[in-house]
Amino acid sequence: MTDFTMEKGADGVAVITWDVPGKSMNVMTLEAWDVLEGLVDEALADEAVKGIVITSGKDSFAGGMDLNVIAKMKEMAGDDPARGLFDGIMNAHRILRKIERAGMDPKTLKGGKPIATALPGTALGIGLEIPLATHRIFAADNPKAKIGLPEIMVGIFPGAGGTTRLVRKMGAMAASPFLLEGKLSDPKKAKAAGLIDEVVADPLAAAKEWVLSAKDADIVKPWDAKGYKMPGGAPYHPAGFMTFVGASAMVNGKTKGVYPAAKALLSAVYEGALVPFDTALKIEARWFTHVLMHPSSGAMIRSLFINKEALEKGAVRPADVSDQRVRKLGVLGAGMMGAGIALVSAQAGIEVVLLDRELAAAEKGKAYSADYAAKGVSRKKITQDKADEMLARITATASYDDLKGCDLIVEAVFEDPKVKAEVTKAVDAVTDADCIFATNTSTLPISDLAKASKNPEQFIGIHFFSPVEKMLLVEIIKGKATGDRAVAKALDFVRQIRKTPIVVNDARFFYANRCIIPYINEGIRMVAEGVAPALIENAAKMVGMPLGPLQLVDETSIDLGAKIARATRAAMGDAYPDGAVDEVIFWMEGEGRLGRKARAGFYDYDEKGKRAGLSAAVSAKYPQAAEQPDVTEVQHRLLFVQSLEAVRALEDGVLMDIREGDVGAILGWGFAPWSGGPLSWLDMIGAPYAAERCDELAATFGPRFACPALLRDLAESGEGFYERFGGAKAAA
Ligand code: NAD
């Protein structure tokens, strides 16, 4: 069986069906291109064939290019990878161009065979680029189908003609949300936007009918016809000029120049718009090669697609534990976190008992889901019936008896070991012996909390991030006694609620907070040193961090920072390293500058809570030094301080798999996604250089930058993290 097969009908229509054996969704491979071309050649050469329809044997059309293949293309391209990649891309262009010209005479534009696509459902990436090369696209009226070009989300751009064709079809301005933001649409919206041509009940029948009636003129693409003008204007047309200047500014503003794909895409569009279509494809191929050659694209594909998916599918799940999907969940504490956990669980179809000390508090937690659902209904994201069903799954209560029959409990009560121990015991008294108990603590050691449990092997950490419904990462923490079934239960639960899990061992601040706190602290330390706050914040954003460290601490609040600092100091005693940071945050706390919630922090805020610039009061207390550091030095301090902590977490065995270290960093706290994560970043700059920078930073700024032994060892052996740990093996 091959990925594409063809059937020639008595009506003169050759139907090419894409149906990759053994996969639920079609993805394109390098070999499949040849098969497709062979079938197109055969149909074009066969006089009995009047037209061609390309469709799918599945309920969707295609999910895109096999990104595993893209990740390997560079290696496969041999000694001259750029040449190999470029040739491979140009080959795809040639095949799609053959489909587009369909055998017509290039001068008279006559005599070609109509080729249409019939999309039964979702068509993404190359799954839309192939249709865009055909003459008409018919899609089934399936509101669940997604149509679009999401490549930019994993650090590449549509490089099989999708960029050039879409811009020539709809204009640069109209195409920009689809290309630059990877916007996906259902079929009706895709038709309204001009991505596809028709939405019908039976796309295959409609496509067949169309190819049999299409005339020569119907199959000539506007850009192949005489007198073609780009919609919205090419770059030197007054309207086009505005678009391109604006787009450039917007892309640079949003990406700060660190995402090579966005910039390359824009260059391909701009340069392509100035030349004939076939030259534009060649330009697109050059820029696409450039992006594939850039280490960022490989790192992003690896972390944000391949490894993220592997973790979601249970790459680190204990293999010999049976299905642990949750049927009935108990959530203790209906505050900010508990309310969010109840919501995402009910959305996933799980029955939820939401318990607080008073019924009113539990009801208030449930009201959070009701408000969320009401918003969804008013925005037409869900129907009233579905919203009602979801809400009916949540039972608000103050009685432990209602927890009977729960197979998983997630505790999100106050961050106080005594309160946590009380509720653990109260739960043990009513639940079945096999119920798993999870705590959502952010700071308390799991192994200590487990002491209150009757079954410490059934006790685990499931650490959500706030806001629960938005944040994609869940950190699962194994205590010393935690058993495999508890890990499997936590992983199966996270899969049910469609989030990405990482599993780590128990240590102070687990993994995400362990790395993010030093980032915040480094920013605050620099303020104390007299580094301009604007330099700190901008340096962070220019290197791809979503928020500068000072904005981040304003968001999470200064008093939380002060509370954590006091607790850490108490736990660490003389070894506590952050006195310089505390001096600043305790002063801020004393001044009532508690962050956004107090409308005063490192930033000032207006009465609506909107940021109104960096605070003059902070600058008055910590005057800026006459000499300011180089922006790269600030960026290195901010990136190294996080990345070295990730390395130490790996050395300590807190992280057991480097994939989790990178995926967790991007999804958990937004570590510069272009880099693929902290360990990918260190691989990208190379261990020898990283070790050398550590030595320099440690000499100037202190031992927190000391090169970890593991990094030193990699520097000496000339390996990278991914070479040594293979993407799957444990660190120890
Ligand atoms: P919160 O104060 O908003 O909610 C706590 C809720 O627990 C309150 O509704 C309270 O009435 C209830 N509660 C207290 N004692 C109880 C008891 N004995 N029985 C039943 N209910 C009780 O707090 P939160 O921000 O939702 O945090 C809850 C937990 O989640 C904490 O352990 C915290 O460290 C952790 N956490 C918080 C965040 C965050 O960003 N806020 C992130 C991750 C984890």
423 lines ligand 1 (CB under 6 A): yes
333 lines ligand 1 (CB under 6 A): yes
Residue whose token pair is 């972390």: 303
Distance CA 185, CA 199 (A): 13
491 lines ligand 1 (CB under 6 A): no
Q: Read off the CATH number of the domain in which 372 is found.
A: 3.40.50.720
Looking at residue 257, its pLDDT comes to 86
Looking at residue 239, its pLDDT comes to 84
279 and 428 housed in the same domain: no
Query: What number is the average pLDDT over the span 362-366?
Result: 98
pLDDT at residue 324 above 80? yes
For ligand 1, the distance from its centroid to the CA atom of residue 571, given in whole angstroms, is: 22
411 lines ligand 1 (CB under 6 A): no
The strand pairing partners of 64, in sequence order, are: 27
Looking at residue 240, its pLDDT comes to 84
pLDDT at residue 530 above 60? yes
Distance CA 384, CA 561 (A): 41
Best residue among 413, 424, 465, 475 to mutate for probing ligand 1, ranked by most atoms within 8 Å of CB: 413
Helix (H) or strand (E) segment spanning residue 329 = strand 328-332
Closest residue CA from atom 39 of ligand 1:
466
Query: What number is the average pLDDT over the span 364-377?
Result: 97
657 and 577 housed in the same domain: no
Structure-derived torsion over alpha carbons of residues 122, 126, 129, 131, reported in degrees to the nearest 10: -50
Looking at residue 307, what DSSP letter applies?
Answer: I
Contact 391, 374 (CB under 8 A): no
Closest residue CA from atom 15 of ligand 1:
413
Looking at residue 529, its pLDDT comes to 97
544 found inside a domain:
no
Residue-wise pLDDT for 672-729, tens only, equals 999 999 999 999 999 999 999 999 999 999 999 999 999 999 999 999 999 999 744 4
Closest residue CA from atom 16 of ligand 1:
413
263 and 340 housed in the same domain: no
User: How confident is residue 194, by pLDDT bands cut at 50, 70 and 90?
Assistant: very high
Looking at residue 24, its pLDDT comes to 94
Domain span at 444 = 328-508
Q: Which of 62-66, 495-499, 565-569, 728-732 has the lowest mean pLDDT?
A: 728-732
**Among 625, 642, 676, residue at a domain's last position:** 625
**Among 625, 660, 687, residue at a domain's last position:** 625
Mean pLDDT across the chain, nearest whole number? 95
Spell out the SS3 assignment of 208-231.
HHHHHHCCHHHHCCHHHCCCCCCC
Q: How far is CA 711 from CA 297, 635, 687, 714, 720, in A?
A: 23, 19, 6, 5, 9
441 and 374 housed in the same domain: yes
Cis peptide bond upstream of 467, omega within 30:
yes
For ligand 1, the distance from its centroid to the CA atom of residue 569, given in whole angstroms, is: 23
227 and 289 housed in the same domain: yes
Looking at residue 253, its pLDDT comes to 86
Residue-wise pLDDT for 125-163, tens only, equals 999 999 999 999 999 999 999 999 999 998 999 999 999
User: How confident is residue 234, by pLDDT bands cut at 50, 70 and 90?
Assistant: confident
Residue-wise pLDDT for 466-493, tens only, equals 999 999 999 999 999 999 999 999 999 9
306 found inside a domain:
no
**Among 625, 645, 678, residue at a domain's last position:** 625
413 lines ligand 1 (CB under 6 A): yes
Q: Read off the CATH number of the domain in which 590 is found.
A: 1.10.1040.50
Contacts with 723 (C-beta within 8 Å, 6 or more apart), sequence order: 683
608 and 669 housed in the same domain: no
Q: Residue 694 class from Cβ within 10 Å (0-12 exposed, 13-18 middle, 19+ buried)?
A: buried
201 found inside a domain:
yes
414 lines ligand 1 (CB under 6 A): yes
Query: What number is the average pLDDT over the span 573-585?
Result: 90
Looking at residue 241, its pLDDT comes to 87
Distance CA 435, CA 404 (A): 10
Q: Which amino acid is at 54?
A: I
pLDDT at residue 732 above 70? no
Looking at residue 593, its pLDDT comes to 97
User: How confident is residue 572, by pLDDT bands cut at 50, 70 and 90?
Assistant: confident
Q: Read off the CATH number of the domain in which 227 is found.
A: 3.90.226.10
354 found inside a domain:
yes
Query: What number is the average pLDDT over the span 349-366?
Result: 98
User: How confident is residue 579, by pLDDT bands cut at 50, 70 and 90?
Assistant: confident
Instruction: Please compute, for residue 373, the number of CA atoms within 13 A of its CA located in the half-sphere on the CB side.
Output: 23
Torsion angles phi and psi, residue 585, rounded to 5: -70, -30
69 found inside a domain:
yes
337 found inside a domain:
yes
357 and 284 housed in the same domain: no
Query: What number is the average pLDDT over the span 512-533?
Result: 97
For ligand 1, the distance from its centroid to the CA atom of residue 39, given in whole angstroms, is: 61
350 and 289 housed in the same domain: no
Distance CA 705, CA 697 (A): 6
Contact 476, 491 (CB under 8 A): yes
Residue-wise pLDDT for 599-637, tens only, equals 999 999 999 999 999 999 999 999 999 999 999 999 999
Percentage, residues of the chain above pLDDT 70 = 99
249 and 363 housed in the same domain: no
89 lines ligand 1 (CB under 6 A): no
* Domains of the chain: total: 4
Looking at residue 230, its pLDDT comes to 92
361 lines ligand 1 (CB under 6 A): yes
The strand pairing partners of 6, in sequence order, are: 16
86 and 214 housed in the same domain: yes
Joined together, the tokens standing for residue 457 give 């092997």
Query: What number is the average pLDDT over the span 254-267?
Result: 91
471 lines ligand 1 (CB under 6 A): no
Looking at residue 731, its pLDDT comes to 34
Closest residue CA from atom 3 of ligand 1:
335
Question: Which of 679, 696, 675, 676 shows the shortest CA–CA distance to 645?
Answer: 679
Query: What number is the average pLDDT over the span 252-267?
Result: 91
Percentage, residues of the chain above pLDDT 90 = 89
Looking at residue 708, what DSSP letter applies?
Answer: P
Residue whose token pair is 């990136």: 639
Contact 526, 666 (CB under 8 A): no
Residue-wise pLDDT for 157-186, tens only, equals 999 999 999 999 999 999 999 999 999 999
557 and 581 housed in the same domain: yes
Ligand 1 atom at minimal distance to the Cα of residue 337: 26
The strand pairing partners of 51, in sequence order, are: 13
501 found inside a domain:
yes
For ligand 1, the distance from its centroid to the CA atom of residue 597, given in whole angstroms, is: 18
Q: In a 3-state reduction of DSSP, which class is residue 626? A: coil
358 lines ligand 1 (CB under 6 A): no
Question: Which of 457, 593, 484, 592 shows the shortest CA–CA distance to 533?
Answer: 593
463 is catalytic: yes
Higher pLDDT pick, 306 / 240? 306
Residue-wise pLDDT for 637-679, tens only, equals 999 999 999 999 999 999 999 999 999 999 999 999 999 999 9
Select which of 135, 290, 463, 636 is catalytic: 463
Distance CA 301, CA 460 (A): 31
Best residue among 332, 356, 418, 419 to mutate for probing ligand 1, ranked by most atoms within 8 Å of CB: 356
646 and 588 housed in the same domain: no
Q: How many degrees, rounded to 5, is the angle at CA 140 between CA 137 and CA 143? A: 120
533 found inside a domain:
no
